[in-house]
Amino acid sequence: MSEILPTGDPWGRFTRDPRDPEVSGLRAGDADRAVLADVLGEAFADGRLSREEYDERAESAERLRTFGDMLPLMDDLVPATGAAAPPVRRSGPDLEREAVKAYERKRRDAWVESITITLICTGIWLAISFAGGWNPHFPWPIIVAVIAFADAIEKSASRDKYVAKERAKLERKVRRQQRKELPGS
């Protein structure tokens, strides 16, 4: 919810702009319902919706099917004026390729970081153990290694999740750039 401010514009966060009549009949996805949930949650936190209103709209948001179904839930919370944001192609090959490259970079960095941390801790442990003759202490670098490698393993095992996150970030970036290029911006 931190991305939406009371004066902010959430329209650009949707995969397609719900205000656009051409997409009103298209089915909305989970990501779009999540944006709507953020808007409702922010309105409730600001005191613009009572608990009952929030609960009612949140239930409706979970059941909605199309982009057009979103507008009645938001019409008194977010100004609908301004130019509709152009849709971002979710499956563009360049966008997908960039998302995969960003994921692979993060995965590689996680492995390098894990190895580096483990080697540094093992070096410290060996130095302490050799100080004053060989007197091995509790092998605590094993604990550090398990924690460090758990993150790298999780990133490697959850490829689709991380690629989707990177794609969403890139789509937001493209939408922001497209809004800057609109006439009158």
Nearest-5° Cα angle at 185, 13 to 24: 40
Q: What is the pLDDT of residues 55-89, one digit of tens each?
A: 898 888 888 899 888 888 888 888 766 555 455 44
Q: Where are the domains of the chain?
A: 10-74, 93-181
- Record the pTM: 0.46
Residue 89 phi, psi (nearest 5): -70, 115
Tokens of 158: 């959850």
Distance CA 172, CA 9 (A): 13
Mean pLDDT of the chain: 82
At 172-182, the pLDDT tens digits run: 887 777 777 76
Residues 20-39 pLDDT 10s: 888 888 898 888 888 888 88
Q: Band of the pLDDT at 112, cuts 50, 70, 90?
A: very high
The arithmetic mean of pLDDT across residues 140-144, rounded, is 93
Helix (H, G, I), strand (E, B) or coil at 138: coil
For 48-58, what is the mean pLDDT?
A: 88
Lowest mean pLDDT among 75-84, 115-124, 140-149: 75-84
